[in-house]
Amino acid sequence: MANDELLAEIKRKNASNGDVVFVSGNFNILHPGHLRLLQFARECGDFLVVGVNTNRMAAGAAILDETHRLESVKANNWVGHAFLLDMPAADFITLLKPHAVVKGKEHENRLNPEAAALASYGGALQFGSGETVFSAYELLRGELARQTDELPLDLPYDFPGRHGFTLGSLEDIVRSAGKVRIGVVGDVIVDEYVSCNPLGMSQEDPTIVVTPMGSDRFLGGAAIVAAHCAGLGAQVSYFTVTGEDALHGYIEQKLEEYNVSGHLIVDDTRPTTLKQRFRASGKTLLRVNHLRQHGIRRDLQQQLLAKILTVLDDLDVLVFSDFNYGCLPQTLVDEITTEARSHGVLLMADSQCSSQIGDVSRFKDVDLLTPTEMEARVSTRNHEDGLVILAEKVRHQARAQHILLKLGADGVLVHAADQTKGWLTDQLPAFNCQAKDTAGAGDSLLAATAVTIALGGSIWQAAFLGSLAAACQVSRVGNTPLTTAELLKALTA
């Protein structure tokens, strides 16, 4: 389309003659970071125009063909008009003369060629990456609603093609999990679900009144990560600290039941961490945590390290599953990391900070780090940059090889090292958009990615299988171990 025709089309669609805002870019994968930026841009004016760089203008940086990238942008509700941009953005700005041009916050202190074009007629250059709370899924609900016979799964079948693998190769990985030897170290948690019958509202004060009907307990924390790995067929050793109480025996029993080799050290200064969830009508009303968060003593650290050293020569991968309840003081983390590296063992780390304070980047030189967006922002003290910049900053701070940035209902952002292109970023949506209980999503993702990477799978295969594992896990209430049969069934559904 000629420039005159393009400008006329934009004017026709902007029938109210409102303020035009312009955004341009490659838009390789329309991940939640892009969607937040587009929402922010739309709020800066009345009509949003987006220029998607052609293959020529992208200069080799495009993963998908220009037509596919344009279609993705056109499908976004915030966009008034999208087109293929085959000239420098600054040149087109002088033709369009938009009220404002919006770029990501990370460009604010860089050279911006658009500034001169805007200054020539009084346009504004604005920077912003949108709000953290924005959910891409709400915009894409209609397109992502596909049901399977049993699980509400929606698998992105184009993702494997983009990264050179097939679903069949993932089946091979799942079936080979028995060859993997995994060590897991971190806080043990017992999750108790108290089922309640809701009676109504108290007449004395605005309090919900329930009657407990029964309860069920599940292994949680790093223990369920180990159980997930074992459920997939891996040979698993698990290292942790418990209290000197009845829950210690419960944990030993469950680990044996799940075929996990448990190495438990008793700390008489703390109870075993217990989290009680009071639920009614399928919803959690209240959670009560029974715990202590102080770091374990130095002598207990040395005992834990000694136990790990007894099996380190036999491990393919060691997983730090940290909940910041004191099992992994920094000195111990550093010692374990040094020993694992000297033995050629792969390292993965996850540090959950939902109701406690932590820093995921304290796990240095790992092969894979799996923070949530909020954990990454807390660790980097960064609440402004877009998701790709955030992932790179936490990767750099932790000196990690790969980052899986967990985005909740928006899935996961994969920020991965590539031998030929440096760094590549792609996004996987949430595979199950009808979650019953999201508590175990990150644990199951961590387990499946550990198995995949230990078998020599790529980060892209690991991210896909991890997302599939999370989708299976959130379809039920309570954190119960994954199985090989579950993943195979989901892959072939």
Hey, which of 55-69, 103-117, 312-326 has the most confident mean pLDDT?
Answer: 312-326
Q: Given the structure tokens 């996987």, which residue do they identify? A: 428
User: What per-residue confidence (pLDDT) applies to 130?
Assistant: 65
CB 104 within 8 A of CB 35: no
CB 136 within 8 A of CB 56: no
For the record, the structure tokens of 130 come out as 């949108």
Both 233 and 347 in a single domain? yes
Checking if the pLDDT of 399 tops 60, the result is yes
User: What per-residue confidence (pLDDT) applies to 5?
Assistant: 92
User: What per-residue confidence (pLDDT) applies to 436?
Assistant: 80
Task: Give the C-alpha separation, 479 to 446, whole Å.
Answer: 13
For the record, the structure tokens of 68 come out as 């596919």
User: What per-residue confidence (pLDDT) applies to 145?
Assistant: 35
Both 365 and 447 in a single domain? yes
Q: Report residue 209: phi and psi, to 5°.
A: -110, 130
Q: Which residue has the higher pLDDT, 443 or 64?
A: 443
User: What per-residue confidence (pLDDT) applies to 140?
Assistant: 32
Q: Which of 41, 58, 59 is nearest to 50 (CA)?
A: 41
Both 367 and 460 in a single domain? yes
User: Would you say residue 141 lies in a domain?
Assistant: no
User: Would you say residue 258 lies in a domain?
Assistant: yes
Q: Which residue has the higher pLDDT, 354 or 111?
A: 111
Checking if the pLDDT of 138 tops 50, the result is no
Task: Give the C-alpha separation, 483 to 3, whole Å.
Answer: 57
User: What per-residue confidence (pLDDT) applies to 216?
Assistant: 85
User: Would you say residue 205 lies in a domain?
Assistant: no
Question: Where are any strands of DSSP class E within 309-431?
Answer: 317-322, 346-351, 368-369, 402-406, 412-418, 422-428
Q: Given the structure tokens 């897991």, which residue do they identify? A: 184
User: What per-residue confidence (pLDDT) applies to 150?
Assistant: 61
Both 360 and 424 in a single domain? yes
Task: Give the C-alpha separation, 487 to 481, whole Å.
Answer: 12
CATH number at residue 369: 3.40.1190.20
For the record, the structure tokens of 324 come out as 């910041």
Q: What is the mean pLDDT of the chain?
A: 89
Both 160 and 78 in a single domain? no
Both 473 and 381 in a single domain? yes
User: What per-residue confidence (pLDDT) applies to 354?
Assistant: 58
Both 374 and 414 in a single domain? yes
- Per-residue b or e along 270-296, where b marks 16 or more CB atoms closer than 10 Å to that residue's CB: bbbbbbbbbbbeeeeeeeeeebeeebb
For the residues 149-158, what does the mean pLDDT come to? Answer: 80
Both 241 and 331 in a single domain? yes
Task: Give the C-alpha separation, 417 to 429, whole Å.
Answer: 20
Hey, which of 75-84, 91-100, 352-361 has the most confident mean pLDDT?
Answer: 91-100
User: Would you say residue 71 lies in a domain?
Assistant: yes
Tell whether the torsion through CA atoms of 71, 72, 78 and 84 is positive or negative.
negative
How many folded domains does the chain comprise? 2
Q: Given the structure tokens 């991968």, which residue do they identify? A: 317
Residues 6+ apart with CB under 8 A from 96: 7, 10, 20, 22, 49
User: Would you say residue 39 lies in a domain?
Assistant: yes
β-pairing, 181-186 vs 235-242, is: parallel
Both 417 and 450 in a single domain? yes
Residues 6+ apart with CB under 8 A from 113: 88, 89, 90
For the residues 347-374, what does the mean pLDDT come to? Answer: 87
Q: Which of 73, 207, 75 is nearest to 141 (CA)?
A: 75
CB-side neighbour CA atoms (13 Å) of 23? 32
- At residue 169 the predicted structure's pLDDT band, cuts being 50, 70 and 90, is very high
Both 224 and 309 in a single domain? yes
Which range, of 66-70, 354-358, 399-403, 429-433, averages the lowest pLDDT? 354-358
The DSSP result for 220-271, as a single string, is: EEHHHHHHHHHHTT-EEEEEEEE-SSHHHHHHHHHHHHTT-EEEEEE-TTSP
Both 363 and 467 in a single domain? yes
Both 352 and 478 in a single domain? yes
Tens-digit pLDDT profile for residues 35-55: 889 989 999 999 999 999 999
Checking if the pLDDT of 86 tops 90, the result is yes
User: Would you say residue 428 lies in a domain?
Assistant: yes
- Domain span at residue 98 reads 3-134
User: Would you say residue 427 lies in a domain?
Assistant: yes
Q: Which of 418, 448, 419 is nearest to 170 (CA)?
A: 448
State pTM to two decimals: 0.80
CATH number at residue 42: 3.40.50.620
Q: Give the CA radius of gyration of the chain.
A: 25
The residues that bridge with 24 in the sheet, in sequence order, are 51
User: Would you say residue 208 lies in a domain?
Assistant: no
The one-letter code for the residue type at 321 is: S
For the residues 323-331, what does the mean pLDDT come to? Answer: 94
Angle, CA of 10, 12 and 13, to the nearest 5°: 65
